[in-house]
Amino acid sequence: MKKYFLVIMMGLLVSLTGCFEEDDSYSLGKIWIGFGVIDEVSTEPLEYQITMDNGNVLVPVASSYQQWYYHDSYDSHSRLKDGDRVLINYTILDDNADIDGNATEYYIKVNSAKKILLKGILDITEETQDSIGNDPIIVKEVWMTDSLLNFEVKYWGRYKTHYLNLVKQPGEITEADQPVELELRHNNNDDIEDIPYAAYVSFKLDSIKIEGLDSVQFHVSGIDYDGETFDYDGVYHY
């Protein structure tokens, strides 16, 4: 899992969101930061957009660096592709506002885009127990967006790759199993714990859907470095 120091960026996210809601004027000196998913609209010609967590659609028309978006015809220096989750820093150039001033589509310049770890839920078995690990993890924030459960986490390490997973017991999930028990697991790969890292990770909740229902209750738990239990209760509507 790639590691990023994102504490400062998270502060920007909070402050700049307010600016976006209160001021509808656009300037090349303003930036916005948020989470979204890349959607490839067509390949010939290549067209793509970013669907943000709040439902807004960003249409990149300029970029501060070349080939930030991946396509099969592009070289190996490209980084992102269709379906990737991103934390994007952008400048709004224009929008498609109606006569009442309401807009949901924005034309932007991409200032930077970082890929966010996006995974499904794993079944925990004897074969996967060791690789999943059970090392402590600090959950700074958790939130839901559509079919994703998102975490801001902190952990200690130095130079090895760490792994994060959201796991459940194997087997078919029924209505009687609610709330579905999930665990946030961390494998530090026997790394030395002397440098604090912050990261974001998102998990797809599709695998806990129950046939015949339009929502499912779930409970997430985890353990931090003091042995304290993290708990989160949520409802996934689908």
Span 202-214, average pLDDT: 97
- Do residues 37 and 142 share a domain? no
Residue 31 structure tokens: 């930036």
pLDDT at 114: 92
pLDDT at 103: 80
Pairing of strands 46-52, 105-119: unpaired
- Residue 1 belongs to some domain of the structure: no
Which residues are CB-neighbours of 24 under 8 A, at least 6 positions away?
101
Candidate from 8-12, 79-83, 184-188 with smallest mean pLDDT: 8-12
Range of the structural domain that residue 63 is part of:
7-117
Each residue of 39-95: pLDDT tens digit?
A: 988 877 778 899 999 999 999 998 876 555 554 444 444 468 899 999 999 999 999
Diameter over CA atoms, the chain: 60
Average pLDDT score, the chain: 85
Q: Are 36 and 51 in contact (CB under 8 A)?
A: yes
pLDDT at 19: 40
3-state secondary structure of 84: coil
Cα separation of 203 and 139, whole Å?
14
Whole-model pTM: value is: 0.82
Residue 53 structure tokens: 């967590």
Cα separation of 169 and 218, whole Å?
13
- Do residues 124 and 109 share a domain? no
Residue 204 structure tokens: 């797809």
Each residue of 118-151: pLDDT tens digit?
A: 999 999 998 888 889 999 999 999 999 999 999 9
Q: Count up the domains in the chain and report the number.
A: 2
**Residue at which a domain ends, from 84, 117, 150:** 117
